[in-house]
Amino acid sequence: MQYRKRMIRKGTALLLSALLLASAMPFAVSAEEVSAKTTEYVNFRTGPGTNYSSKGVIPSGTGITVTDTSNSQWYAVRLSDGSTGYIYAEYISVSGSNTTEDGEVNAKTTADVNFRSGLGTNYNSKAVIGSGTGIIVTDTGNSQWYAVRLTNGSTGYIYAEYIRITGDVGTPSAPAPVQITAPKVSFPSAPPSP
């Protein structure tokens, strides 16, 4: 009986390890850096939130490099002098070499979000776009509502807080489904009792 319990524990541990590893894979963040500019005078902070101290105020129009967009509200950035910190995403406009010739950039939604006909909640929702859906940001002129194009060609607006710039150029794609296959575990029958 002890042998069987040990084998069950080992099989369970193996299965849980496989599931944990597989569940972490969809959340990998691209290490792609994106050129951008500040759209307002904004605090350059030591961490992602107003509870972190300000390293200084960055003027509007300052060129920066966005190094991480995994937090949709606070982007990790690097200044031209090499210093790193965080800026509130609403005050960043993506530009530069990671955009298409037309200034468009690929992105993904970070939550289920309304795809609206205009800039604001007073405009009709054309559809609800699922979290992780690939989109093309066509205009970041309004720091709160980005103009976007879906893969089917539809154009509209999504609240900027729910968009993560991926920096990839080209046609975006919907997130690939993840298939988790649990390993087959077989247990030998217990030896006969003495």
> Whose CA is closest to 169, among 34, 27, 77?
34
Extract the residue ranges of the chain whose pLDDT is less than 70.
1, 3-32, 95-103, 167-194
Residue range 35-56, pLDDT digits in tens:
888 888 899 999 999 999 999 9
Spell out the residues 6+ positions from residue 184 whose beta carbon is closer than 8 angstroms to its own: none
Spell out the residues 6+ positions from residue 49 whose beta carbon is closer than 8 angstroms to its own: 74, 86
In whole angstroms, give the CA distance from residue 153 to residue 159. Answer: 19
137 contacts 157 by C-beta, under 8 angstroms: no
117 contacts 157 by C-beta, under 8 angstroms: yes
Residue 113 phi/psi, 5-degree rounding, is -145, 150
Which pair of tokens denotes residue 128?
Answer: 């609800």
**pLDDT the model gives residue 175:** 41
In whole angstroms, give the CA distance from residue 21 to residue 65. Answer: 31
Type of residue found at 124:
N
**pLDDT the model gives residue 69:** 80
